[in-house]
Amino acid sequence: MMRPRTVNLLTVIALSIALSSVLLQSPHTSVHAAADQVTFNRQIAPIIYNHCSSCHHPGGAGPFSLLTYADARRWGTVIENVTQSRFMPPWLPAPGYGSFADDRRLPDEDVQLIKKWVTAGMPEGDPADAPKPPVYSTDWVLGPPDLILKVPLPMQVPPSGTDLFQNFILPVPITQTKYVRAMEIKPGAPRVVHHANIIVDRTASLRHQHPNDWQEGIPGMEVMFDSGDTFDPDSHFLFWKPDTPALIEPEGMPWRLDPGNDLVLNMHLKPTGKPETVQATVGLYFTNKPPVAHPMLLQLEDDAALDIPAGDPHFVIEDHLKLPVAVDVLGVYPHAHYLGKKLEGYAILPGGEKKWLILIPNWDIDRQSVYRYKSPIFLPKGSVIYMRYTYDNSAANIHNPNSPPIRVRAGNRSVDEMGHLWLQVLPQPIPNSDEDPRLLLEQAWMENRLSKDPNDETALYNLASVKMSESDFTFATDLYRRILTGSPEDTRTLTALGTALDKDGNWEGAESEYQKALVSDSQYADAHFDLAQLYFKHNSYAAAEQEYRSLLVEDPKDAAAHNGLGAVLLATNRIAEAQNEFQAAISFDPDSFDALYNLASIEASDKNYPQAIGLLQQALKQKNDADAHQLLGSIYIQSGRLGDALQQFKVVQELRPQDPLPHRQLAQLYDQIGQLNDAIRELNAALALEPGNADDWNNLGVLQARAGNTAAARKDFEHALTLDPQHAAARANLARL
């Protein structure tokens, strides 16, 4: 974006045009440039088309177009000034402090070519040398999107005043999970939109917080979202700039959208001097390939330290984070406001080596961006990432919004300050472990935040979520209680505490916390749902049914509530009604594992085996679940498909290596198909896990006897009787020997 200069640009332009006219009329200037002369067609046009015209084209974000020789000649002196000063093209990182993709910094030789061209009178050159100008379509750059979302209501931006930050909520009308490989944003009025971020609201929490006015957009630079019960960290820089309308994700790293998700478009709007209307449209491009790599966003910050005295030209804040796992750093996004001056990000490796991530010596909020590396930067476990930001609150800072300078603290307004360094990292697998390395990163990050502010409620909540995923429910309970000390009526935390208490075996305490949450907010769906599940688990079916039905009054399309109600009806022998509820759940969410499994169990009970098999196969596409494999294996046996059943029980065995049941089932199958040695092996494996099972010892004796191993069979029957002297089958079998 062009910023005001101390030179009168109209005067400069007029002088440059007048000087050019004199040069063109001079008898010493040839119509055709000399072979060594810099011309627009031969040298300058390629520079402008590659580095400038993405913004400077009709309808683009730039204040004027640069697609023709006449355009370039008109603005030639300005182009020389802004390229010599490195004000344009907009590129803040210093060279040599990180190798970035899409580096817009002009090479020194290009800067000198522009200077020579302007000095020579801006000759056009031979038309035969002219490259073809780029074409900028008003349609979608990537072609027709798979899904188009439009902001519900247009917003009027006044001609003057302060910057505006508005959050537009876009419900996503999908019925099954989608993976987004690319996204394109049409802001509606490019010149008024400075930048925009997309946030995935997994629980539609912002819309639920503003049920009556969400269509108009929610003001604010930063907003809080409820991420739900599962660990699902932000993982992608969904950051839009006028010169990069299309965001294409790396191969193997699309981002996920689930039914019920909202997209929140956070827009930074700047008055342009005239009234503007903004109504953005978002285009999404899907892939059927789920991600094979799972990155994560990390943030360093110390906003609490931002209290910058008026006139201070060198105010510094710092933060650091020690990595508990090795990572590849994929990109970086530094952020400050108008007082930011020098922004540094680097890592100190375990051996002491310093590795730069980014250095911005002259920060400018109007030219901020996400910077992605040409190649990932590897940081081994134990590396420490550092952020060091310097602020200039003096009158000498041309960006300072206050004249004279005033004291500035942290805040969400653009006239306040921030100091954030976001990193997109791809965690490396933990050696000899199946643990998600993102959990360790999240824990280290939240503990770092709490070291600066022990009452940081966001950090307490997120750390508690990590502990919940690690089944450390007592620790999680303590963290939730710490939040409630400061915010005793926080509905989300009361509900989360109820879940932690339930997992820890205190279901009466859980019930109490859920009821407190509903006193705080009687419409809070999560509390109703969790309370319904609690009642169901403890056989309070009438109370569970009441909670599920209340949820469906509020949202008749709530697939989870339909499934939960179906489970209650099934448990109380209302089979036909239960079947209807499971079918309703699947109609609203075709990928609902629980509804598919429950409906399959009804179909299997009714001996509708083909339908049950189809439902279970669809369920297993969503989750590799041992119960589903076991039920499918049992149905295959009933259908006479013993080979298919064998494969299902082998999977169950892999998923439950400490469970003797799949070994018993495999033993029975091997016995049925005449593979006695395999059957004996599987029963021995079951007895290794549960050596006190008299039935297994008796059955093993039967197999040994049929295999001709009489002595072994006798010992097995005798051992069964030692464990259970009243075991009639073992006594009879021993007598037969």
Could you write out the DSSP letters of every residue in 696-709?
HHHHHHHHHHHTT-
What digits encode the pLDDT tens for the residues 79-106? Answer: 989 889 888 888 899 999 999 988 888 8
Longest dimension (CA), the chain: 127
* Of 102, 152, 122, the residue nearest 41 (C-alpha): 122
Alpha helices in 487-506 (DSSP H): 491-503
Residue 522's CB is within 10 A of a number of other CB atoms, namely: 11
Residue at 238: amino acid letter = L
CA distance linking residue 315 with residue 62, whole number of Å? 33
* pLDDT one-digit tens code per residue, 180-197: 999 998 888 877 887 788
Mean pLDDT, range 426-455, rounded to an integer = 92
- Amino acid at the residue 297: L
Q: Using CA atoms, how far apart are residues 92 and 113, in angstroms rounded to an integer?
A: 21
According to the model, what pLDDT value does residue 230 have?
Answer: 67
Please report the pLDDT score of residue 63 as a whole number.
82
DSSP state of 367: G
At 180 the pLDDT is: 95
The answer to whether the beta carbons of residues 377 and 102 sit under 8 Å apart is: no
Instruction: Give residue-wise pLDDT tens across range 571-609.
Output: 999 999 999 999 999 999 888 999 999 999 999 999 999
Per-residue pLDDT band for 202 (boundaries 50, 70, 90) equals confident
Measure CA of the first residue to CA of the last residue in the chain; give whole Å. 95
Rounded average pLDDT over 203-223: 83
Q: Which of 56-65, 180-189, 292-301, 345-354 has the lowest mean pLDDT?
A: 56-65
Between the alpha carbon of residue 318 and those of residues 321, 448, 457, 666, the distances in Å are: 11, 13, 21, 60
Delineate the domains of the chain, giving CATH numbers in brackets: 9-129 (no CATH), 147-294 (2.60.120.310), 298-447 (2.60.120), 622-736 (1.25.40.10)
Using alpha carbons, list the distances in angstroms from residue 475 to 228, 460, 472, 480, 688: 19, 11, 6, 9, 35
When pLDDT is averaged across residues 344-349 and rounded to a whole number, the result is: 98
Range with the poorest average pLDDT among 239-253, 424-438, 463-477:
239-253
> What does the pLDDT look like over 462-510, one tens digit per residue?
999 999 988 999 999 999 999 999 999 999 999 999 999 999 999 999 9
Residues 457, 470: Cα–Cα separation, whole Å: 20
Tokens standing for 284?
């999404």
The reported pLDDT for the residue numbered 59 is 74
Quote the pLDDT of residue 9.
Answer: 31
Query: Directed axis angle between helix 694-706 and helix 661-672, to 10°?
Result: 20
Non-local CB neighbours of 107 within 8 Å, separated by 6+ positions: none
Nearest to residue 347, comparing CAs of 317, 381, 311? 381
Give pLDDT, residue 152.
92
DSSP string, 202-216: TT-HHHHHSTTTGGG
Residue 46 pLDDT exceeds 70: yes
Residue 206 has pLDDT above 50, yes or no: yes
Q: What backbone phi and psi angles, to 5 degrees, belong to 238? A: -95, 70
> In the chain, what percentage of residues exceed pLDDT 70?
93
Residues 6+ apart with CB under 8 A from 111: 83, 84
Tens of pLDDT, residues 114-141: 999 989 999 989 888 889 998 877 678 8
* pLDDT for 367 beyond 60: yes
Per-residue pLDDT averaged across 202-224, rounded?
82
The model's pTM is 0.79
pLDDT of residue 17: 30
pLDDT of residue 51: 86
What average pLDDT does the chain have? 88
Continuous segment of H or E residues that includes residue 479: helix 473-486
